[in-house]
């Protein structure tokens, strides 16, 4: 009998899939005695359990709607849900039809399917430095050539973006609102300038709008999708492909997200969705629609108020406890604060000591850089903990950093 | 302003994704006056709506379990659900651990992820002639070289399978139980001989077990997974990768399926699942588990009894009405009967006339052949209709075939 040789059978482009060491290290962070800023998952206390319970009960009490929600459905996604999303986009200034929207398993599947359609070995792909790790995991299954562009306080640096387009890149993945991992947002002027550049080069921007509803101060800025002149004149001719999700505003476990794009791309995405897994769970689409109709926008206000308090607690603690040599972002929304440590402090080594000596966890920033720079950076999430524990955790981390710095 | 050129941006290997003409034609089949044998979807009257309603209510009434079911979860899938599946496999003679199981969005995502891991341009891939269309849609995103092997009454023809292995193929996708589209099953002797061949060549068999619980007569035969000696001695050294799903026995809309495989492959699949869409909807896994614990195996008996009656109605009508020149399979389970028309009758043209003249629909068989043969074949599903309507539809189709034959 000859045994199967898995190493030989795995396709060449799939051999690079390897587990992250950080993930193993962070398993320790799940212990109750650890104050973890590592996660970045929503606070489960915010889930509208009672309302969702009613939605499920109402749906299942209706024989026709209930059985319909349990049957196979079309790959595009439920028309009424796409209609709700289109109406919500319109409120934000982006007029699109339901034919411009595909429902996906969270925004993550949108990233993965866009990677499968638009990337191949060697495709030049612009990403922010740092960028969302999950996006790069999806993109990397296709082995693009990353071109990292630096971020300043107003967003991606224009000269870097233009240089990337000059070098032949035609796809840029950008997160202009409360970015994961930095919490940074683009200014209005930068948004307009980025779009103008993309339009000049005929480039596509993949706009990650996962966190865009989680704004805690000031007026929300229009999305790249809403600002895109080409898309406003003709919904099938735009520059921007936008990813959305209910994971941060309602619940993540339904896995309901969406892609908004010009129809030529949506048509390809629908075919890929069908080949991939047929469609998003029918009942989850039906429940998400009923739940947002029932609870939005009031529920989003509650979510914002809660996370604002947590953010304020983290920022105040950072100001009170961190040495001056540590700088940090002051996000106006989202779930993350980004720390830059003095040069020479390696945040991976710091994490090991933080877990050991202070029972505090965070994510070392290097994993978010396509060029593996950022050794002295850390991502801290304030979404899960309560304010007192956030303050306690930041104090512990600051104490450790002082000790490391003085060594 | 330069417009985005989508045709240039789509990756080379994604350009082949095109919509099926048949699908457009079959949209007509959804009209109420049409008796459709085209679908192949479960009968929604069989969905255990009341029990599922209770499951959702109980889950959401429990604050900890309810909030847990609404949160992100691990990519492998819920341990208790994997444990239930492992116990169910063990009852059927396949001893595997939960580390051999990954939860997927239905069996379709298992097919897609296996394609992404095991296939690349030019990989030799054995499929049955005919084979499941959805599998080939997933496989074709990777552009393998298909090697079609003929089926006889006992399963895939051994000489053809051996020739494929001799030609260098090391992966075979087979559906030994009540295959979609033919309804055919492999005999016990053929199962053993297929496995022996695969083991001799160190080949992997991807066993599609989507329909294996839907047996309507006689004793169920052991799966290839259960018969696989290598896997029984060491659960991480087997020859067989098996795909399962609750779509045919419980409901399809939860999108809960699974892959059972040796651990070296599961570890890669988990990483790909994480990059693709993080995890299957947490609440759907929790609900599926509670629902099968509550309703199986009694519910499966009800499902079997209902489909057996429908199958019997279709086979009796075929015997009563079809001309002798038409042959058909007599499936012992599943949802499909396969028709072979006299040579020279093109089933695509027949479908157009069937919709127009008799208001009957089926799926022309050609789409199920990797080599686009089978012009004179049809797939008929008996799962959706009631027995009287099935009889009526077969009579209408037989009348048309007589007319076509006599022209």
DSSP letters along A377-392, please?
Answer: EEEEE-SSS-HHHHHH
CB atoms within 10 A of CB A93: 13
Dig out the tokens for B362 from the structure: 């089926």
Task: State whether residue A120 sits within 8 Å of chain B by CB.
Answer: yes
- Separation CA B196–CA A2 (nearest Å): 10
Please tell me the least confidently modeled range out of B23-37, B107-121, B180-194.
Answer: B23-37
User: Within chain A, which residue ranges are assigned CATH 3.40.640.10?
Assistant: 50-295
User: Which residues of chain B have a CB within 8 Å of the CB of A41?
Assistant: 71-72
**Cα distances (Å, whole numbers) of residue A303 to A250, A255, A297, A311, A349:** 9, 19, 10, 12, 34
User: Is the CB of B68 inside 8 Å of chain A's CB atoms?
Assistant: yes
The helix/strand/coil state of B35 is strand
Q: Which of B78, B251, B275 to mutate to test the interface with A (most CBs of A within 10 A)?
A: B275
Crossing angle for the helix pair A263-277 and B106-118, to the nearest 10 degrees: 100
Give yes or no for B9 touching A (CB within 8 A).
yes
B12 in reach of chain A (CB within 8 A): yes
Partner residue facing B109 (CB), from A253, A277, A282: A277
**Per-residue model confidence as pLDDT tens digits over B303-321:** 999 999 999 999 999 999 9
Interface test with A, best of B2, B6, B26 (most A CBs within 10 A): B6
d(CA A199, CA A60): 48
Confidence of residue B405 (pLDDT cuts 50, 70, 90): confident
The answer to whether A253 contacts B3, with C-beta atoms less than 8 Å apart, is no
Q: How far is it, in rounded angstroms, from Cα B186 to Cα B179?
A: 9
- Give residue A19's pLDDT: 79
This prediction's pTM: 0.97
Is the Cβ of A5 closer than 8 Å to some Cβ of chain B? yes
A148, two tokens: 């990292």
DSSP secondary structure code for residue A217 in this structure? S
C-beta atoms of A278 and B134 within 8 A: yes
Cα A154 → chain centroid: 19
Mean pLDDT computed over B81-105: 97
Residues B290/B52, Cβ–Cβ less than 8 Å: no
Q: How far is it, in rounded angstroms, from Cα A76 to Cα B162? A: 41
Partner-chain contact B11 A142, CB within 8 Å: yes
pLDDT the model gives residue A37: 96
**Which residue, among A6, A143, A335, A367, would best test binding to B if mutated, counting the most B CBs under 10 Å from its CB?**
A6
Residues 282-321 of A with CB under 8 A from B: 282-284
SS3 per-residue string spanning B245-286: ECCCCCCCCCCCEEEECCHHHHHHHHHHHHHHHCCCCHHHHH
Q: What is the mean pLDDT of residues B259-288?
A: 97
Phi, psi of A336 (to 5 degrees): -130, 145
The ipTM estimated for the assembled molecules is 0.97
Interchain CB distance below 8 Å, B41 and A134: no
Distance, CA of A76 to CA of A271 (rounded, Å): 9
Q: Is B4 on the interface with A (CB under 8 A)?
A: yes
Chain A residue with minimum CA distance to B47:
A67
Considering chain B, what percentage of its residues have pLDDT values greater than 70?
99
CA separation for the pair B324, B392 (Å, rounded):
19
Judged against a pLDDT cut of 90, whether residue B121 lies above it is answered with: yes
Q: A53 and B61 in contact by Cβ < 8 A? A: yes
Place of tokens 């045709």: B7
Q: What tokens does A53 get? A: 């319970």
Q: The tokens of A288 are what?
A: 């998400």
User: pLDDT tens-digit profile of B332-386?
Assistant: 999 999 999 999 999 999 999 999 999 999 999 999 999 999 999 999 999 989 9
Radius of gyration of chain A (CA): 22
Please answer yes or no on whether B67 and A57 come within 8 Å at the CB atom: no
Q: Which positions in chain A touch B69 (Cβ < 8 Å)?
A: 253
Between chains, do A281 and B253 touch, taking CB under 8 Å as contact? yes
CB pairs under 8 A between A and B: 262
How many Å lie between the alpha carbon of A95 and the closest alpha carbon of chain B? 18
The minimum CA-CA distance between A166 and chain B, rounded to whole Å, is: 14
Q: Does B64 touch chain A (CB under 8 A)?
A: no
Residue A388 touches chain B, beta carbons under 8 Å: no
DSSP character for A343? T
Q: Which residues of chain A have pLDDT under 70?
A: 21, 407
* B10-B14-B16 Cα angle (round to 5): 115
Q: Tell me, yes or no, if A204 comes closer than 8 A to chain B by beta carbon.
A: yes
The count of residues in chain A is: 407
Nearest chain A residue to B46 by CA distance is A67
Burial of A12 (0-12, 13-18, 19+ CB in 10 A): exposed
- Residues of CATH 3.90.1150.10 domain(s) within chain B? 19-40+299-406
* Distance from C-alpha of B142 to C-alpha of B115, rounded to nearest angstrom: 7
The reply to whether residue B281 touches residue A278, judged by beta carbons under 8 angstroms, is no
Query: Which residues, 6 or more positions from B312, have their beta carbon under 8 angstroms from its beta carbon?
Result: B387
Residues B135-141, mean pLDDT to the nearest whole number: 96
> Are A285 and A78 in contact, with CB atoms under 8 Å apart?
yes
Q: What is the DSSP string of A34-45?
A: SEE-------GG
Q: Closest partner residue to A117 among B10, B71, B255, by Cβ?
A: B10
User: What is the distance between the alpha carbons of residues B54 and B60, in angstroms, rounded to a whole number?
Assistant: 10
Which tokens hold the place of B121? 């341009």
Which CATH number fits the domain A50-295, given the four candidates 3.40.640.10, 3.30.365.10, 3.30.1050.10, 3.40.50.300? 3.40.640.10
Longest dimension (CA), chain B: 69
Q: Pick A5's closest partner by Cβ from B72, B202, B275.
A: B202
pLDDT at B235 over 90: no
Q: What are phi and psi of A125, to 5 degrees?
A: -130, 120
- Return d(Cα B292, Cα B88) in angstroms, integer: 11
Q: Cβ contact (<8 Å) for B4 and A237?
A: yes
Mean pLDDT to the nearest integer, B285-307: 98
With bands split at pLDDT 50, 70 and 90, how would you rate the model's confidence at B19?
confident
Q: How far is A361 from chain B (nearest CA, A)?
A: 19
Whether residue A245 contacts residue A256, with contact meaning beta carbons closer than 8 Å, is answered with: yes
What's the half-sphere exposure (Cβ side, CA atoms, 13 Å) at B50?
4
User: What's the CATH architecture for B19-40+299-406?
Assistant: Alpha-Beta Complex (3.90)
Query: What b/e sequence results for B181-220 when a residue is b if at least 16 CB atoms lie within 10 Å of its CB, and e otherwise?
Result: bbbbbbeeebbebbbebbbebbbbbbbbbbbbbbbbeeee
Q: How far apart (Å, rounded) are the C-alpha atoms in residues B375 and B343?
A: 9
**Which residues does B242 contact at the CB level (< 8 Å), separation at least 6?**
B94, B206, B207, B209, B223, B224, B225, B259, B260, B261
Whether B278 and A171 lie within 8 Å, measured CB to CB = no
To the nearest whole percent, how much of chain B has pLDDT over 90? 89
* Chain A contact present for B249, CB below 8 A: no
Q: Among A71, A275, A383, pick the best mutation site for testing chain B contact (most B Cβ within 10 A).
A: A275
């Amino acid at each position: 009998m000859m045994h199967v040789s898995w190493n030989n059978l795995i396709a060449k482009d799939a051999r690079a899939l390897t587990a992250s060491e950080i993930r193993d290290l962070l398993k320790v962070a799940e212990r109750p005695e650890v104050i973890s800023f590592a996660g970045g998952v929503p606070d489960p206390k915010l889930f509208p359990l009672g309302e969702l319970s009613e939605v499920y009960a109402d749906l299942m009490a209706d024989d026709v709607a209930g059985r319909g929600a349990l049957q196979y459905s079309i790959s595009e996604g439920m028309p009424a849900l796409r209609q709700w999303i289109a109406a919500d986009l319109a409120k934000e200034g982006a007029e699109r039809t339901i034919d411009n929207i595909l429902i996906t398993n969270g925004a993550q599947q949108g990233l993965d399917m866009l990677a499968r359609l638009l990337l191949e070995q060697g495709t030049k792909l612009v990403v922010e430095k740092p960028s969302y790790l999950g996006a790069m995991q999806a993109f990397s299954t296709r082995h693009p050539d990353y071109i990292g562009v630096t971020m300043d306080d107003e967003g991606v640096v224009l000269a870097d973006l233009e240089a990337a387009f000059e070098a032949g890149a035609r796809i840029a993945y950008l997160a202009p609102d409360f970015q994961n991992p930095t919490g940074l947002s683009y200014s209005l002027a930068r948004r307009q300038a980025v779009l103008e550049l993309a339009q000049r080069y005929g480039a596509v921007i993949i706009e990650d709008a996962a966190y865009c509803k989680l704004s805690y101060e000031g007026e929300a800025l229009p999305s790249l999708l809403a600002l895109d002149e080409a898309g406003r004149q003709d919904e099938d001719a735009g520059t921007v492909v936008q990813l959305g999700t209910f994971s941060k505003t309602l619940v993540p476990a339904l896995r309901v997200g969406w892609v908004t794009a010009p129809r030529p791309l949506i048509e390809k995405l629908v075919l890929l969705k069908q080949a991939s897994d047929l469609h998003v769970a029918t009942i989850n689409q039906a429940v998400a629609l009923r739940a947002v109709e029932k609870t939005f926008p009031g529920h989003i206000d509650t979510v914002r108020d809660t996370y604002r308090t947590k953010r304020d607690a983290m920022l105040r603690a950072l100001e009170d406890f961190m040495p001056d040599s540590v700088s940090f972002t002051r996000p106006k929304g989202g779930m993350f604060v980004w720390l830059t440590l003095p040069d020479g402090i390696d945040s991976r080594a710091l994490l090991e000591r933080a877990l050991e000596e202070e029972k505090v966890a965070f994510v070392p920033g290097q994993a978010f850089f396509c060029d593996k720079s950022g050794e002295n950076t850390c991502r801290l999430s304030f979404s899960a903990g309560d304010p007192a524990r956030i303050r306690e955790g930041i104090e512990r981390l600051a104490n450790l950093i002082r000790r490391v710095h003085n060594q």
